[in-house]
Amino acid sequence: MITDKISYSRLVIELARSTFMTFLRPSSTAIDSAISQMRSIGLGALPTASLIAVAAGFILALVLEIQLSQIGKVEVVPSLLWIILTEQVVPVGVALIFAGRSVSAVTAELGSMQVSEEIKALFTMGIDVVPYLLVPRFLGFQIMLPVVTLVGIYASLLGGWLLCGIVLRMGIADYIYYAFDGASFWSVMVALAKSALFAFLVATIAFYKGLNVRNGSREISEATTQSVVGAVIVVTMADAVVTSFQLV
């Protein structure tokens, strides 16, 4: 990967091997680096994701209220919100936020390190690029995307309650009762599993595009755009596939 371009499959294999070895023999520097990446990749996305989740919950609740009030079934709005937000909207939405924010940043960072020979410098210092650069970032995505998804689920339910409280004059206790009436632990597990899958996909796309930059700032810009677009497409298609399996 220093001069020759790396294939996606080889990248995934190297990443898997290095991540396994990091867990087998963790060092304090690896842990510090992973925590730092969790902070920049995940914590930084938390405010944006939470805000969008509240808005998404509010909007979805509004749409459901309008439709269900026509058949006198507004009391099922909270439980429908739980199912739709938890299993679909929030995991995909958070992954798309990560794609726009963190995938672009990681791609640009790695691309710029290639162009400025920093990656070559690491190689000549006898430092393995994958464990040093990629594994902490991979763990940042893999841990924080599900965490932010979990926070986003509850933020979106809050948004839903804002609508239910204002329009339906539903008290918080009633809202929670109706929401959790339709809720199941399985929905949360589906959300976390999806977000873990999305994290793997968007992270590896960011690494692949960033490490394969070779020539100057124009190519960094192109790679960043391609990685965001690629991540968005892949997340959406992966969600379609996984959701199809749920119906089987």
Partner 1 sequence: MAGTIAEAKSKLAPMPEAVEPVLEVINVTKTFPNGKTVLNGISFQVLPEETFVILGGSGCGKSTLLNILIGVLEPTSGQIRILGEDLRSLRGDRLKAVHVRCGMLFQSGALIESLSLVDNVHLPLREHYRGMDPDVLFETARLKLRMVGLEEHAAKRPSGISGGMKKRVALARALALDPDLVFADEPTSGLDPVSTREIDEMFIRLTRRIGAAAVVVTHDISSFFRIAHRAVMLGGERDGDLQGQVIMQGCPEDFRASQHPVVRRFFASGESETRNR
Is 2 among the residues that bind partner 1 (CB under 8 A)?
A: yes
Instruction: Indicate the residue among 112 and 221 with the shorter CB distance to partner 1.
Output: 112
Determine contact, residues 48/123, Cβ cutoff 8 Å. no
**How far apart are alpha carbons 48 and 81 in whole angstroms?**
20
Instruction: Indicate the residue among 87 and 109 with the shorter CB distance to partner 1.
Output: 109
Residues making up the chain, counted from first to last: 248
> Which range, of 55-63, 80-88, 105-113, 207-215, touches partner 1 by CB under 8 A?
105-113
User: Binding string, 143-172, against partner 1, x = CB under 8 A?
Assistant: ------------------------------
List the interface residues with partner 1, window 108-127 (CB under 8 A).
109, 112-113, 116-118, 120-127
Instruction: Indicate the residue among 16 and 193 with the shorter CB distance to partner 1.
Output: 16
Residue 54: enclosing H or E segment and its boundaries?
A: helix 46-69
**How far apart are alpha carbons 242 and 68 in whole angstroms?**
28
Determine contact, residues 14/124, Cβ cutoff 8 Å. no
Determine contact, residues 179/82, Cβ cutoff 8 Å. yes
Instruction: List the structure tokens of 153.
Output: 């689920």
Is 44 among the residues that bind partner 1 (CB under 8 A)?
A: no
> Which residues here bind partner 1, judged by CB under 8 A?
2-3, 27, 29, 109, 112-113, 116-118, 120-127, 132
